[in-house]
Chain A
Amino acid sequence: SQTIHQWPATLVQPVGSPLSLECTVEGTSNPNLYWYRQAAGRGLQLLFYSVGIGQISSEVPQNLSASRPQDRQFILSSKKLLLSDSGFYLCAWTVGVIGYGYTFGSGTRLTVV
């Protein structure tokens, strides 16, 4: 069966420090991968999506970047965190054929101090 792993679960980082969040999917090949951010009490904002290795599309200009070094690995990074980067980050995947639900990871709560 397919599973998605996301870590760490929580992270407290100082302003100006780097960030690396990792997401891996098991049990499927060539998934579409997504990074979302959720502010407190709000909906999800799509940050990045990827349809294949090395193929990254950004939805919102920001302090973050994403990479997909392997088929089932999606990484969210920042060189220097800002206070405004705090939030709940969620990774998701779908099969790449429209008409199927998306599966979400358990999320990473990032607090920038």
Chain B
Amino acid sequence: SQQGEEDPQALSIQEGENATMNCSYKTSINNLQWYRQNSGRGLVHLILIRSNEREKHSGRLRVTLDTSKKSSSLLITASRAADTASYFCATDAFVQGAQKLVFGQGTRLTINP
């Protein structure tokens, strides 16, 4: 089953602008992860934020986590045409004794040159 919603479903911006994607989830988590998927390809792990962390940075990526609101956001600064892809959040937790990664529906990001 899907964990939650991602917002927006699609985002189109100009190169150089910042892109913000939001993710909500429903259950308790150990950590939340963001992945990128180029069209027709596998997923690439971008960043992981633990439930006791509020913000994390990696290069041009900034992730926030608000466990009280069960939400997260991914900010890509100074976007480039190569950032065009779908971005997924996923929650990682033990569910009924098994470690599972449950995905949202994703945000399709288009960077216009």
Chain A residues engaging chain B, CB cutoff 8 angstroms: 6, 32, 34, 36, 41-46, 49, 51, 57, 88, 90, 92, 94, 96, 98-107, 109
- Residues in B whose Cβ lies below 8 Å from that of A46: 100-102
Complex-state Cα separation, A98 to B104, whole angstroms: 19
The answer on a CB contact under 8 Å between B42 and A49 is no
CB within 8 Å: A-B pair count: 71
Contact size range, B: 20 to 34
The answer on a CB contact under 8 Å between B106 and A98 is no
Q: Which of A94, A102, A107 has the most CB of B within 10 A?
A: A102
Complex-state Cα separation, A107 to B103, whole angstroms: 16
- Residues in A whose Cβ lies below 8 Å from that of B84: none
The answer on a CB contact under 8 Å between B30 and A102 is no
The answer on a CB contact under 8 Å between A43 and B98 is no
- Residues in A whose Cβ lies below 8 Å from that of B92: 98-99, 102
SS of B interface (majority):
strand
The answer on a CB contact under 8 Å between B100 and A49 is yes
The answer on a CB contact under 8 Å between A103 and B101 is no
Complex-state Cα separation, A42 to B86, whole angstroms: 10
B68 on interface, CB distance cutoff 8 Å: no
The answer on a CB contact under 8 Å between A92 and B101 is yes
In the complex with contacts A98-B31, A99-B48, A102-B33, A90-B40 CB distance below 8 A: no
- Residues in A whose Cβ lies below 8 Å from that of B35: 104
B25 on interface, CB distance cutoff 8 Å: no
Q: Residues 30-50 of chain B: 1 if any A CB is under 8 Å from the residue's CB, otherwise 0? A: 110101000011111100101
Return the 5 tightest CB-CB contacts between A and B, nearest first. Answer: A101-B45, A104-B42, A43-B105, A104-B43, A44-B103
The answer on a CB contact under 8 Å between B42 and A32 is no
User: Which residue in chain B gives the minimum CB-CB distance to A95?
Assistant: B99
The answer on a CB contact under 8 Å between B33 and A98 is no
